Amino acid sequence: MYWFFLLKKMKKTISATVDEELIRWIKKKISKEKKYRNKSHLIEIALEKMKKEDG
C-alpha cells in the first residue's frame, strides 16, 4: 500500500495575494458545492483547467 502514495504527485506550498471579492467567491463555491475540499483544492482544479485549455 505504501507504493500507492509514491505514485501521487508531490505538492508544494505556495503563497498568493488574492482580491477579497475572489476570496468571498471561493468560500461561497466551497460551501455550496461539495466537490471542493478546501480553497487550495478549488484553486488547483481551476489552474488545471486553465492548463488544459492552454494546450
Q: Is residue 46 part of a domain?
A: yes
Q: Is residue 12 part of a domain?
A: no
Reply yes or no on whether the pLDDT at 52 is more than 80. yes
Cα 40 to chain centroid, rounded:
4
What are the tens digits of pLDDT across the range 1-33?
555 555 667 889 999 999 999 999 999 999 999
Residue 18 pLDDT: 96
Q: Is residue 3 part of a domain?
A: no
Q: Is residue 10 part of a domain?
A: no
25 touches 34 (CB < 8 A): no
Q: Is residue 11 part of a domain?
A: no
Determine the Cα–Cα distance for residues 15 and 54; give it in Å rounded to an integer: 23
Angstrom distances, CA of residue 43 to CA of 3, 11, 26, 46 = 27, 13, 8, 5
The half-sphere exposure of 25 on its side-chain side, counting CA atoms within 13 A, is 7
C-alpha cell at 24: 468571498
Q: Is residue 22 part of a domain?
A: yes
Residue 23 pLDDT: 96
Number of domains in the chain: 1
Containing domain of residue 40, as a range? 18-55
